[in-house]
Structure 1
Amino acid sequence: MAPDIMPGTTLPDFELPDHTGVMRRLSLLQGHDPMIVTLNRGVYCPKDRQQLLELARFYPQLQVGFAQLVTITTDSLLLSNDLRLGVGAHWTFLHDEKRIVQHRLAIQEYTDPHNNPMIPHTFVLEPGLKIYKIYCGYWYWGRPSLADLHHDLRDITSRQRPDYKIDTPEMRQQWDSGDRHGFFPYGQSWHQVFARMAGAVDQYGRS
């Protein structure tokens, strides 16, 4: 891993084509939410497929918990869609045939010169692409379990959401005063909130 990529630093705001061929920035996909980013080998890897199947089962919890999920592979557009459809994923897949992420993060899997993939990693990000935790998944057991991700997102959310402890006298007083600044959706419209929950990326910027 590149020496400047560690918990507490900021993940580069990569811009890559998604599973429809449209360029997407990680910051747009994240918005103001916590986000999980998986860097995977691709369609040929059974470890990736198993991890993504688990995440497909977890994804409804991410939606109601207002957390985002993005997968990046070195597959082509066709293979990226094969993988996405094959695991029943409903989140954004980005493909990186040029190995931009691999080179920037210094995660070439040098033990596989035939496929030249990235060493699989899972990043858990706080808002602003701030790295909270990095899991190295070269071996399958290095990848986070759903319980690991649940704990990570609980900690991030408890620190990032001002209304996480809504039962305090201070929060009740703020609500009764008519001040909604510290309450979800924090000035966003419900249209924006539901667009993100639905993965409607092209509506993210609309009010």
Structure 2
Amino acid sequence: MRSDIVPGAAFPDYVLPDHTQVPRRLSDLQSDQTMVIVLTRGAFCPKDRHHFQELVRFHSQLIVGFTHLVAITTDDWHTANNMRQQLGAHFPFLLDEERKVQQDLDIKEYTDPEHDVMIPHTIVLKPDLVIHKVYNGYYYWGRPSMAELHQDLREATREVREDWDITDPARRAEWDRDEKDRFWPYGSKSMERTLTEMAGAVDQYAGRADEG
């Protein structure tokens, strides 16, 4: 992994086609929420399939916790869609068939020249693609458990949401004065918009990346 991909740095804002072949920009998928990105070897890997089974079960918690989940794979469109459908996954799979991410992040799994895949990684992001945690999943036990992701997202959310503890008298006074800038999402957008973003529909995102 590139030496600058560390907590506190910004993860690259890649543009890749999704499982419907529509170009998507990571920052559009994230909006202003936390996000987990899974860089996967692909459908052939039993470790990846098992990890995704756990992520699919965990996904409903991510939705109510206002956290997006995105997979990036070097599989082709057909293989990625087969895996997504077999898993029952309702989050985007982005396709890196040209190995753009693999090469840019320097995560080519050189021990597997047959498949030319990425070394699996899981990246936990705060808003604005700010890196909170990086997991190297070359060995299965290097991948985060769902309990660890829960802990990471608790820490990340506590750091970025000023209204984490609304029992704080100062927060209550601000709310009573209708000063909602410190309250998320009330100070930045509507709850309706937030719930729409978490609904899982492909057309929810701000726009196609190829439309500017």
Q: Which amino acid aligns with 1:184?
A: W
Aligned to 2:149: 149
Where does residue 36 of structure 1 map in the other structure? Answer: 36
Residue equivalent to 1:200: 201
C-alpha distance in structure 1 between counterparts of 2:189 and 2:171, whole Å: 19
Which structure 2 residues correspond to residues 46-85 of structure 1 after superposition, within 5 A?
46-85=46-85
**Are 2:18 and 1:18 equivalent residues in the alignment?**
yes
Q: What letter is aligned with 1:39? A: L
- 1:203 and 1:68 map into 2 onto residues whose CA distance is 12
For residues 82 and 201 of structure 2, what CA distance do their matches in structure 1 show?
20
State how many pairs are aligned.
Answer: 206
Shift of 1:205: 3.0
Q: Whole-Å Cα distance in 2 between the matches of residues 205 and 143 of structure 1?
A: 31
- Runs of 4+ with deviation above 4 angstroms: none
Aligned to 2:27: 27
Residues 192, 205 of structure 1: 8 Å contact kept: no
Q: Which moved more, 1:121-130 or 1:197-206?
A: 197-206
Q: Which has the higher contact order (CA 8 A, sep 6+)?
A: 2
Q: Alignment identity in percent?
A: 52
1:202 Cα offset (Å): 2.4
Quote the RMSD (CA, aligned, Å): 1.2
Offset of residue 199 of structure 1: 1.9
1:8 maps to what in 2?
Answer: 8
Q: CA deviation at 1:83?
A: 1.0
Gaps of 5+ in 1: none
Residues 92-122 of structure 1, C-alpha deviation per residue, up to 9 Å, x if partnerless? Answer: 1101100000000000000111100000000
Deviations 1:115-159 (A, max 9, x none): 000000000111111111110001100000001100000001111
User: Secondary structure of 1:192's partner?
Assistant: helix
Gaps of 5+ in 2: 208-212
Alpha-carbon distance in 2 for matches of 1:149, 1:139: 17
* Structure 2 length-normalised TM: 0.94
Q: String of CA shifts for 1:53-79, please: whole Å, max 9, x gaps.
A: 000111011000001110000000101
Q: Secondary structure at the match of 2:128?
A: coil
SS in 2 for 1:151: helix
Residue 201 of structure 1: CA displacement?
4.0
- Higher deviation after alignment, 180-189 or 101-110: 180-189
- Per the TM alignment, residue 195 of structure 1 is displaced from its structure 2 partner at its CA by 1.6
